[in-house]
Chains A and B, each alone.
Chain A
Amino acid sequence: MEHPLKKFSLYAFIIAGALFILFPLYLTVVTAFKTPSESAESLLGLPSSIQFTNFIQAAEMSNYFSAFYNSFFITVLSVIIIILLGSIASFSIARNQHKRFYRVMYYFFVSGLFVPFQVMMLPLVQQLSALGMLNKWGLIMLYATYGLFQCVFLYVAYFRSIPREIEDAALIDGCGVFRMFWYIIFPMLKPMTVTLIVLNIIWIWNDFLMPLVILSSADDWTLPLMQYVFESQYAANYNLAFASYLMVLTPVIIVYLFLQRHIIGGVSDGAVK
């Protein structure tokens, strides 16, 4: 049944596609390690030696480590808040669907999924300025809020698969609502929690527009914003430029190499549900 020709064209198609995906990344890596004269000689060839001068120079010029720290801090804190507040809010919404108030609350939370950030962008800048929050704290609050939309949507759906009997039993045993949630319910949410953590990390780590309009001080810049700011400084020296692109992408690449299965699962689950 399997024609060799059919099989060959199948592999040719998949491999060609994979090469197309990998080509920009290959180019990024080899260019980042080359000197301008090496690139002039051969744009696509391998570097003659592995050296890190481009990286060191790019890191110094762009204040890379400070931006990395900001990205890390903002992402971690935002994700923690999203998961904490989202899980408890979803719990109370999911378990009170017989009450009108909570049904309204569900639509209220989920409605945000459809509102583009641009709608709120201009008033938000005003509002955060009035609150003195045009900084990373304001940005974290925004991520925490906008992360809740999807978080509640996915958690509430997931709660349908968790039987209520366990909770009732725990409550009758005299376990408080908070303890019951934390020790019994929250662990049962683990698959969805992993999905949500993955989705939110990817979103926040890579986000560009929100930091652009919210962060007013260079001390707070995240990696994408830092790249945007310094693009004009090294765009002409493309070896340096590629070194800095690679440095921004590296944390994600490393995490992806190790957690690739969880990430693919998480993202596709999150998108499908």
Chain B
Amino acid sequence: MKKSFYLLASSAVLLALAACGNNEESASGSNAENEERTTVEFFQVKAEAVDTFNVLIEQFEEENPDIEIDQNTVPDGMTVLTTRFSTGDIPDLFITYPVEEDYVLRVNNDYLMDITDEGFIDDINPEIQDRYIENGRMYGAALSLNANGVLYNKEIFESNNIETPETWDEFTAIFEELEAAGETPLIMGNQNVDQTSIFNLNFIAQKFDADFWERFNEGEIDITEDEEWREASEKMLEILQYAQSDHMGTNYDQGNEMFAGGEGAMYFMGAWVLPTLREMNPDFNENFGYFPFPQTNNPEENVTISGVDVGLSIAEDTEHPEETLKFVEFLIEEAQQFANMDGSFSAVEGVEVQDEVLEGLSPHVENNQVANWPNHYWAGGTAAEADFRSHTQNFFNHEDIDQYLADLESMFSSYR
């Protein structure tokens, strides 16, 4: 009697513990039984695009009542995705950027589905889509492109009689002029480490191409002795002096708020920021515009950074290959709709930009006067990119070019 009492008690505790694990299984099990729908997990790392995707998902589910698309957006999305790979819990569909080391690593470990022969691949601009070629095959599909340029406040430009610049000299002259007129020429949010590279990669992207990075990754180039790197660094410092007084103590959100509130004339930023700025300032479209970043004095040589913004890969081991492919095909077909809502350039052929602010960058993007994000070529992938940003943030503080280049050299060589 007594014996059974405590046996019962201990086992009750153990059962309670076991029940915890079971609970969830039975819950999800019964869900599947009730609804008889296939659920495809779409791991989507762009917080700004959640609503856009929700609209498209709703349309897709209406057309395909037996498929449910579960859009999953978490903080530090790319980090979580890495973890999901390391634990073997890979989402059916997720965002992947081509060329990048993470992509190459995943391809070479057979984590991604080969989609080279799918019909929808032919609808995508080959200039962009070919970036996905690895070992002669493609494991991702490009949907949209981001673009990085200079946002400007039209009112401030007009009241100071300033035209948008096309060359480096015009560009620096504008800063000079605006400052003399008592305006804040530039808003930067450099407390947020990401913002430092959104600015300075403009120079790096213009100066170095894919071949350079290949040699660079082989260790054939020493940054500390490279004149081009030095020149790029000098240009960074030249621009930096025009930023608002506490740009190192201002973060991304605060920078957005300041610029949308009309506190500065220019802002270096990618197109992904547009929805946020529009929310902060209802008159954004009338009062603000874009122009391409003029890195040199030859307008023909200046480039706009534009990389794949939404690119989709499917897990090799997915349990629902057909359903997932169907959804990707749907997204490519609806690329125009996506571009309209997302306000981005499209990787799909025949889709036109209808965003009045973004149009300022169209000439470059349409003439293919673009460069991919340089960091996509770096050995070390996302990690090297993060280190690069931190070293850049350091540089903006100490402003010592020799130190900066030495730091970068040792950082890059650690990933080779």
Contacts and interface: CB of A to CB of B under 8 A. Distances in A.
Q: Which of A126, A177, A178, A228 has the most CB of B within 10 A?
A: A178
Given A176-B5, A178-B9, A217-B72, A133 B21 contact: yes
B29 interface: no
B1 interface: yes
Contacts of A134: 87, 89
A175 B20 CA distance: 32
Contacts of B2: 174-179
A176 B1 contact: yes
A235 B251 contact: yes
Contacts of B254: 235-236
Interface in A152-186: 174-179
Contacts of A81: 17
B273 to A, nearest CB: 12
A174 B2 CA distance: 9
Q: How large is the interface on A (under 10, 10 to 19, 20 to 34, 35 or more residues)?
A: 20 to 34
Interface string A213-240: 1001110000000001100100111000
Given A85-B13, A235-B251, A236-B253, A228 B5 contact: no
B282 interface: no
Contact of B24 (A137, A236, A237): A137
Interface string B234-257: 000000000000000001111011
Contacts of A176: 1-3, 5-6
Contacts of B72: 217-218
A265 B178 CA distance: 62
Contacts of B6: 176-178
A84 B13 contact: yes
B256 A236 contact: yes
B57 to A, nearest CB: 16
Interface in B10-38: 13, 17, 20-21, 23-25
B105 interface: no
A258 B265 CA distance: 53
A140 B20 contact: yes
B75 interface: yes
Given A176-B3, A236-B280, A130 B75 contact: no
A137 B23 contact: yes
Contacts of B89: 129, 134, 216
A228 B75 CA distance: 8
Interface string B75-87: 1000010011011
Given A140-B20, A232-B253, A178 B87 contact: no
A135 interface: yes
Contacts, number: 67
Nearest to B21: A137
Given A140-B20, A216-B80, A236-B280, A125 B3 contact: no
B5 A179 contact: yes
Contacts of A84: 13
Contacts of A178: 2, 5-6, 9
Contacts of A179: 2, 5
A135 B24 contact: yes
Interface of B is mostly: helix
A82 B74 CA distance: 30
Contacts of B47: 232
Interface residues of B, number: 32
A141 interface: yes
B88 interface: yes
Interface in A47-100: 81, 84-85
A216 B81 CA distance: 10
A175 B2 CA distance: 8
Contacts of A130: 87-88
Contacts of A141: 17, 20
Contacts of B24: 132, 135, 137
Contact of B253 (A126, A213, A229, A235): A235
Interface string B50-92: 0000000000000000000000111100001001101111000
A236 B257 contact: yes
A176 B5 CA distance: 8
A170 to B, nearest CB: 12
Given A235-B251, A236-B257, A216 B74 contact: yes
B282 to A, nearest CB: 15
Given A130-B88, A131-B21, A178-B5, 16 more contacts: A129-B87, A129-B89, A132-B21, A133-B21, A134-B89, A137-B24, A140-B20, A175-B2, A176-B5, A178-B2, A213-B83, A217-B72, A229-B74, A235-B254, A236-B253, A236-B280
Interface of B: 1-3, 5-6, 9, 13, 17, 20-21, 23-25, 47, 72-75, 80, 83-84, 86-89, 251-254, 256-257, 280
24 contacts: A126-B86, A131-B21, A132-B24, A133-B21, A134-B87, A137-B20, A137-B21, A137-B23, A137-B24, A140-B20, A141-B20, A176-B1, A176-B2, A176-B5, A177-B2, A178-B5, A178-B6, A179-B2, A179-B5, A216-B89, A218-B73, A228-B75, A232-B252, A236-B280
Pairs of residues from A and B, 7 with the lowest C-beta to C-beta distance, nearest first: A176-B2, A129-B87, A178-B6, A236-B253, A236-B257, A235-B253, A229-B75
